[in-house]
Amino acid sequence: MSRERLLSLDVSVDYAGKPGVLRNVSLEVNRGEIVGLVGQSGSGKSTLAMAILRLLELKGGSARGQIRFEGRDLMTLSERELRRIRGKQIGLVLQSPMTALNPALRIGTQLKEGWRCHGGDPAGWRRRAMELGEREPACGRGFPPALSPAAQRRAGAAGLDRHGDPASPAAPAGG
């Protein structure tokens, strides 16, 4: 059975003063596949995820090579074009979700903001908050610090699931 290619890459990553952090990493993911990236702490899992999203510059890094998502080379897109894709079609849930969640805002408020920014179904954030609340009661109306790390990750993933498209990857990463 032939499947449509969702993501393919061949990329190398450098940081200032640390060339060759990742060298010629190749990966292919077809629509509907689930891929796990396993490695020791510091082996480059999060760096690869940040390279795919073209967010390395925020950490002083740079990527070279090719990263194709749904047939488009992400390395050639403008920042404006990337913003239309990030969080809507492709996203990242870190292993330590408190780095992405605002501890002073309720989970529902953060879901609502994500939906608003990325044009999701306006009622969707409330539905997702209720689903999360059924699994972990503190999640529905709670603040991130009150949640277990697993519930925080679910909340982060819920923030990416605005359109119910299981083919759009939400890449958990971290060491």
Q: Which CATH class is domain 5-91?
A: alpha beta
Looking at the chain, the whole-number percentage of residues with pLDDT higher than 90 is: 34
Q: Is the confidence at residue 172, as pLDDT, over 50?
A: no
DSSP string, 12-44: EEEETTEEEEEEEEEEEEETT--------TTSS
Cβ–Cβ under 8 Å, residues 46 and 37: no
Structural domain spans, the chain: 5-91, 97-160
Q: Is the confidence at residue 175, as pLDDT, over 60?
A: no
Q: Which of 21, 26, 22 has its CA nearest to residue 8?
A: 26
Whole-structure pTM value: 0.66
Mean pLDDT of 12-37: 92
